[in-house]
Chain A
């Protein structure tokens, strides 16, 4: 929030970009710093980017009994979400934070970061996929989804 105090002195788009990116950095590197450092130096194209939490969790046969995927999201702690964002590579974390956390539109994000809108779309899709994968893996580690049917762990995309 200290960065907000410097707002009146911002005079150019370039300085605004720097300000936004500084906030992103300050807000999301406080925890799991080592995990973040590892992930942020990872090449952007080495991990599959089609992971879907919904496809792992959704159980059509259980629709009348409950809703495992919604239960899952509701049980996530704020720190679970922050940790998953922390672990994203820089380029993905920026767009996920600006769109999903700050609520900016694609065009605004493109302007702030100085990249084409198509790049924002692409990074957002990949960033969200990785975020969901991180949440899934964390859930497996801590047993968050222990009451789900035993076959759901191996369940792939339909």
Chain B
């Protein structure tokens, strides 16, 4: 992400989802963090989106035993590394 400088809440909101997904550059991550530390509204929005994301993640956790989950993650890693090369 090259457009990481945040000058407004709109800029922050545009990056927020990717930030919460850990899909932004280090520079953009730092920019979002800086904005969230100074903007109550965007901080509240981030907390809300993070909580909703956590609730969705919980849907995938309960029925799967840890060993199976780990095996799936390993297979996904193997296949995606292979598939992207």
Contact = CB atoms under 8 A, between A and B. Distances in A.
Contacts of A124: 17
A16 B75 contact: yes
B17 A108 contact: no
B3 interface: no
A70 B48 CA distance: 6
A35 interface: no
Contact of B59 (A7, A82, A158): A82
Interface residues of A, number: 42
B68 A4 contact: yes
A16 B77 CA distance: 11
Contacts of B48: 53-54, 57-58, 69-70, 73
Contacts, number: 88
A100 interface: yes
A102 interface: yes
B60 A128 contact: no
B79 A54 contact: no
Given A73-B48, A81-B56, A108 B18 contact: no
Given A54-B49, A58-B45, A63-B40, A103 B60 contact: yes
A70 B45 CA distance: 10
Nearest to B45: A54
Given A4-B68, A53-B52, A70-B48, A100 B80 contact: no
Nearest to B49: A54
B52 to A, nearest CB: 5
30 contacts: A1-B63, A4-B71, A7-B71, A7-B75, A53-B48, A54-B45, A54-B48, A54-B49, A57-B48, A60-B41, A69-B44, A69-B48, A73-B51, A74-B51, A81-B55, A81-B59, A85-B59, A97-B60, A99-B21, A105-B22, A106-B21, A106-B23, A107-B84, A108-B80, A111-B79, A111-B84, A121-B18, A124-B17, A128-B17, A158-B41
The 4 tightest CB contacts between A and B, nearest first, are A100-B56, A101-B60, A111-B83, A13-B83
Interface of B: 17-18, 21-23, 40-41, 44-45, 47-49, 51-53, 55-60, 63-64, 68, 71-72, 75-76, 79-80, 82-84
